[in-house]
Amino acid sequence: MRRATAALLALVLATALAACGSTAPKPESTRLPSATLQPLGPGGQAVRTGDLRGPMVINLWAQWCGPCKDELPKYEAFHRAHPQLPVLGVDWFDPQPARARALAEKVGLTYPLVTDPDRHLGGPRPALPQLFLIDAKGRIAYSAYVEIKSVSQLEDLVRTHLEVDL
């Protein structure tokens, strides 16, 4: 019995140590995947994600996502309060971009909007809404599936992870 317990403990410890060594992100995995995202509406510009440098805020959303719709006004308020910090909205995997454009107009979004119909962004287990904070070197400083409930919540995340004064 002692040998079985000792063997099990050794196996658990070895697994834990192996996992600890594999959680550090590789340098090439700390950037957004390279893709060219087209503007959501007329008059916008395409964005090459590999060229993005921050500090900046990126919000993945879609018109069919209830929490996304709820948080869009918070991103607009943040953008208006902090125009020095770029915000990029990405209409993600949306089969009806015309509805997304209509929602953006209804909410009054003034920051740049692009579309990602092919799911270049979002990671291996995509969900919405998703927030990316990009640092000055173009690396992902923070990424989370999170609904922004207030401007102050977004400001706190930006201060913490991008270390900028707002």
pLDDT at 122: 83
Q: What is the pLDDT of residues 128-165, one digit of tens each?
A: 999 999 999 999 999 999 999 999 999 999 999 999 99
pLDDT at 25: 36
Query: Domains, the chain, ranges and CATH?
Result: 31-162 (3.40.30.10)
d(CA 157, CA 159): 6
* Contact present, 91 and 58 (Cβ < 8 Å): no
* Contact present, 58 and 90 (Cβ < 8 Å): yes
d(CA 166, CA 108): 23
Which residues of the chain are modeled with pLDDT < 70? 1-29, 124
Q: How much is the pTM?
A: 0.82
